[in-house]
Amino acid sequence: MTVKEIRMFRRFVQVLGLALLLVGGAAHAGVELATSVKKVVAVLDENGQVTRRLEAVESVVPEDVLLYTITFTNAGDETVDAGSIVITNPLPAETVYLEGTAAGSGTEITFSVDGGETFGKPETLEVQRDGTTQAAQAADYTTIRWIFEPALDPGQSGDVTFNVRLK
Amino acid sequence: MIFALLFAASTASWALGTDAGTLITNTATLSFEIDGAAQPIVESASAITRVDERLDVATVSRDGGLVLISSPSRQGVLSFDVTNTGNGDEVFRLVVDTDVDEGGFDPELVQLYIESNGIPGLQSGNGGDLVYVGGTDDPLIGSDETIVVYVELNVPDSLPGADEGSVRLSAVAGTFVQALGVTHPDDTGFPVPGATFPGLGDRSVDVVVGLSHEPRASTVSAVGTLQVDGPIVSMHKTALAVSDGTGGSRVISGAEITYELAVQVVGTGSVGQLVLTDQLPPELAYVPGTLMLDGAELDDDFLPAGQDDAGFDHATDTVSVAIGSMAAGSGLRRVTFRAAVR
């Protein structure tokens, strides 16, 4: 091997080692997180009742209602501590949160009106409007937070959801 | 873009929609502990949703009710706001229908204008508002922007008082013209809400037709109405009969033609000092003593002055009859006379 080839081989070994290190690091204690989005479409059924169904969506137009689902899975081989999973979702700036839609079994749900600095239950949140302190509206929320109460064993998963309307 | 800048004049109160082409990105993060030890924060892949162009338009009459017209103008101008209530920029074709209401009269379209000189109301001519020609001057209206459109109309004569004539202005999205060739809301195949046009929106997103195109609740079009107010004088001249002296009715030298001038006042109110005149052409000679008003004989001499205002003026070859004041809806006054072919 020439000097140049030796250098290239050393470089290859370094990169390979780094890659193996990364794969190994992710393998044993991991929670995977995924988000998906569907459009909530109101349809009038044959009895004249409005029902809602979910549609796969690539694109939306203003006033459309979207359902976001965040799925978390313990992909590692160790149990995640009870009460330690905290999911935080800043609301996309172009959307308005729809009151009462945040859900997730086994979770405690709180909201932020200050970009995620502080969180609280809806009835405790306040904003400054027109120079006075007023109770926050759903449209004031900037961030949603779920705290998952149970422990999460390897292979287990859960999900949380919320709806927004596109501005 | 020139048009968009030109017409970005009005402030609008419509809710702004997220711009077409925007990508809505949602990302969640998760923190957790194992055996009391905080683990690295996990970030989800982002759910990305593209915002399509929702095509909506609101055409609204600016006139706040009937626009009154009165003689002698016989012209009326109706004005409309056309607001792009969609979330993308769109070119619009403006279309006017003059045959809108049953009954009433049909105004005659003279010209469409787009407010462009910053002076409220229609000004035509040099320095005036922009003359609009469909297909050539179709304005590009930015999302949430409004243009003002003036519809200049002629009004037919012989209208009863308080008669109304309406026109409808429609703003047809250029996307429809481009993709379907439809240029009028009544055209077959005019899109309804939910129709989509892949790739024709701003930044090549899809176009989705919005609820303003709901057939029964469409705001694509708006109606404005002119109403006749004040008196409008209308006069018609008719040749009632021809007598050629041989029992026939050929127009030959020496034949006498009986003319009628019929005048009426329509609309509302009345006119004063109404004088009917008719100047005879050189080929015709007035037949003395034939002037009548509503079947009653008048003499030809205008005497006594100040009391008799009817007669034939030889100096100008003109028949002249003073009617005086005449109320709208009072019916026809008929002046007849005979003239001989020279």
Give the whole-angstrom CA distance, residue B263 versus residue B250: 27
What is the structure's pLDDT at A6? 57
B207 vs B10, residue with greater confidence: B207
Q: What is the pLDDT of residue A48?
A: 80
Contact list, A167 vs chain B (CB under 8 Å): 15-18
On the question of pLDDT at B215 being above 80, the answer is: yes
Measured CA to CA in angstroms, residue B137 lies from B114, B125, B282, B309 at distances of 9, 17, 49, 54
- What pLDDT is stored for residue B14 in this prediction? 44
Q: pLDDT digit string (tens) for B224-255?
A: 999 887 777 888 888 888 888 888 888 888 88
- Mean pLDDT, all residues of chain B: 88
CA distance A82 to chain B (A): 9
Domains and CATH numbers, chain A: 28-166 (2.60.40)
Alpha helices by DSSP H, listed for B139-278, are 174-180
Output the pLDDT for position B7. 42
* Closest Cβ opposite residue B47 in set A31, A35, A59: A35
Average pLDDT on B81-109 reads 92
Chain A: residues touching B (Cβ < 8 Å): 29-37, 57-63, 66, 68, 70, 72, 76, 78-81, 84-90, 92, 94-95, 152, 166-167
Confidence label for B20 from pLDDT (cuts 50, 70 and 90): very high
Residue A8: pLDDT above 70?
Answer: no
Q: For residue B313, is pLDDT > 80?
A: yes
Given 3.40.50.1220, 3.40.1190.20, 2.60.40.2110, 3.30.360.10, which CATH number is that of B231-341?
2.60.40.2110
- pLDDT of residue A1 exceeding 70, the answer is no
Average the pLDDT over A32-39 and give the result: 94
Q: Please state the three-class secondary structure of chain A as a single string.
A: CCHHHHHHHHHHHHHHHHHHHHHHHHHHCCEEEEEEEEEEEEEECCCCCEEEEEEECCEECCCCEEEEEEEEEECCCCCECCCCEEEEEECCCCEEECCCCCECCCEEEEEECCCCCCCECHHHCEEEECCEEEECCHHHCCEEEEEECCCECCCCEEEEEEEEEEC
Q: Please, which residues have CB within 8 angstroms of residue B336's CB and are 6 or more apart in sequence?
A: B240, B258, B259, B260, B261, B290, B291, B292
Q: According to the model, what pLDDT value does residue A9 have?
A: 56
Nearest Cα to Cα of residue B312 among B322, B299, B323: B299
Q: Which of A31, A36, A58 shows the shortest C-beta gap to B50?
A: A58
Tell me the three state secondary structure of residue B3. Answer: helix
Contact A58 B87 (CB under 8 A): no
List the single best residue of B32, B35, B39 to mutate versus A (max A Cβ within 10 A). Answer: B32
Of B5 and B136, more confident? B136
Reported confidence tier of residue B137, pLDDT bands at 50, 70, 90: very high
Query: Are B50 and A33 inside 8 Å of each other by CB?
Result: no
| Interface residues from chain B to A (CB-CB < 8 Å) | 15-18, 22, 24-36, 39, 42-47, 49-54, 87, 205-206, 208, 210
Positive/negative CA dihedral, B283, B288, B294, B295: negative
Domains B54-228 and B231-341 share a fold: yes
User: Which residues from B are below 8 Å from A30, CB to CB?
Assistant: 42
Fold (topology level) of B54-228:
Immunoglobulin-like (2.60.40)
Cβ proximity of B94 and B66 under 8 Å: no
Domain boundaries, given as residue ranges, for chain B: 54-228, 231-341
pLDDT, one tens digit per residue, over A80-130 is 999 999 999 999 999 999 999 999 999 999 999 999 999 999 999 999 998
Query: Are B46 and A60 within 8 A, CB to CB?
Result: no
The pLDDT of residue B8 is above 50 = no
d(CA B189, CA B181): 10
Question: Each residue of B281-311: pLDDT tens digit?
Answer: 999 999 999 999 999 999 898 888 877 889 9
pLDDT above 50: residue A163: yes
